[in-house]
Chain A
Amino acid sequence: MPANAVRIRLSVNGRSHDLEVEPRTLLVHALRDEIGLTGTNIGCDSSSCGACTILVDGQSAKSCTMLAVQAEGCDITTIEGLADTTDGDGLHPMQQAFHECHGLQCGYCTPGMILASVSLLEEYPDLDEPGVRVGLEGNLCRCTGYHNIVKAVLSAAGKEA
């Protein structure tokens, strides 16, 4: 490791990981390459597309626009750990809704889309359809499969699309 590498401890999906990283290591790369959680995808690499969205202390954040060192002391949730944040044995209700409404086409944007949606409903519980569309503006689906994605989020919110 380079001389300026730092030791950090990241809490990801309830597990502690001791890492030695360069300060310039982006959080998304630490998650994928150091910890091996490849469910967080890299899309645009410039904080526009939202494919790398994770939860930091329960709130959506783009892991390509955070340094791994910034995340020390935060609770990180990736798509691999989302189901464990609920009481049940199965999928998180948002994952279940995406499954039932077929809220995906190729699936590349799906991890980020689901985590952004979980955070969105937490922040704005009363969203209607236009609100969901605006609220997901930071997450791009290049299959343009938005219709079923919006339907899934509304379904998870207990509202029929």
Chain B
Amino acid sequence: MIPAAFDYVRAGSVEEALAALAEHGDDAKLMAGGHSLIPLMRYRLVTPGVVVDVGNLNGDLRGISVADGTVRVGALTRHSELEHSAELADACPMLAHVASMVGDPAVRHRGTLGGSLAHADPASDLPAAVLALGATLVARGPGGEREIAAADFFTGFLESVLADDEMLTEIRLPVSGGGWNYQKFNRRAQDWAIVGVAVAENAKGVSLVNMGSTPMRATAVEQAVAAGASAVDAAALAADNASPPSDLNGDAEYRGHLARVLTERALKAAGIA
């Protein structure tokens, strides 16, 4: 399928991108690597009148730095760059690992962290990872910059608190130690997770992939581990408060079962007895 016709704006700066968004409102779509947007446009599930390409804005928007206990990742940093960053492997190994689990190598060369988060797909790996890691997302709009806790960012299926005239510029994560693990269950190579579970910082953060309309924290599991529960007992609570979808890959009940099994595996792999 060919996308519906649109006008193309190649932004030369964040300011130019924001100006284009301000001018065209909800008729415009930002494109970074395009690996979520272009497939949707090809299926004509999205038909923006204007595509604002920010994929070439490198500089501060692309790269990883670590200072004062905080990891800063530019929104346009590509999955393969997360995967191969020695700094990230040291300061936030779970994010590097989860990035290496996205799609296939060709997808990871083009897809960006900011693009994946802004797309807000509950079945994607990276939104759940930043949720478990307690990230802060930095957005810029006409009124300046604002910080958004990952826990407040995702509001619905492919929906976030980002306004039509805002763009993500940076993702900030605490330097994280402690046990971590990511479990991704799928049946086909390079597919989205049927269910995924991210455990960060000795289970201070536990999040679920594809268990509802947004990536979600498994707060009952986090609280149980904090109160001293075993991995088995805590994992039994993994699907509490989740409303998983039913589709050809599995119904809601199956997903609930998978969430409990994968959470137990992830907790144990992260060192929770």
Given contacts A6-B8, A24-B3, A53-B106, 14 further A-B pairs with CB under 8 A are A4-B5, A4-B8, A23-B7, A24-B41, A45-B1, A46-B42, A47-B107, A48-B190, A61-B110, A67-B8, A67-B38, A116-B105, A123-B84, A138-B104
Beyond A61-B109, A65-B35, A137-B104, whether A2 also contacts B5 by CB under 8 A is: yes
Beyond A23-B51, A69-B53, whether A47 also contacts B35 by CB under 8 A is: yes
Question: Could you list 28 examples of A-B contacts with CB < 8 Å?
Answer: A6-B8, A23-B7, A23-B51, A24-B3, A24-B5, A24-B41, A45-B42, A46-B39, A47-B38, A50-B106, A53-B106, A59-B109, A60-B106, A61-B106, A65-B38, A65-B39, A66-B34, A67-B34, A67-B51, A69-B8, A69-B10, A70-B53, A72-B10, A116-B106, A119-B106, A120-B105, A123-B105, A137-B190
What is the minimal beta-carbon distance from B228 to any residue of chain A, in angstroms? Answer: 38
CA distance A61 to B35 in the complex (A): 10
CB-based closest 6 A-B pairs: A138-B104, A23-B8, A137-B189, A59-B109, A60-B106, A24-B3
B63: interface (CB < 8 Å): no
Taking CB atoms and an 8 Å cut-off, the chain B residues in 35-85 that contact chain A are: 35, 38-39, 41-42, 51, 53, 55-56, 80, 84
Interface residues in B, total, Cβ within 8 A: 31
Taking CB atoms and an 8 Å cut-off, the chain A residues in 1-60 that contact chain B are: 2, 4, 6, 22-24, 26, 45-48, 50, 53, 56, 59-60
As a 0/1 sequence over residues 94 to 116 of chain A, the CB contacts with chain B under 8 angstroms (1 = contact) are 00000000000000000000001
B163: interface (CB < 8 Å): no
Beyond A24-B2, A24-B4, whether A138 also contacts B55 by CB under 8 A is: no
Q: Which of A66, A72, A123, A138 is within 8 Å of B190, CB to CB?
A: A138
B103: interface (CB < 8 Å): yes
Number of A-B contacts (CB under 8 A): 88
A93: interface (CB < 8 Å): no
A92: interface (CB < 8 Å): no
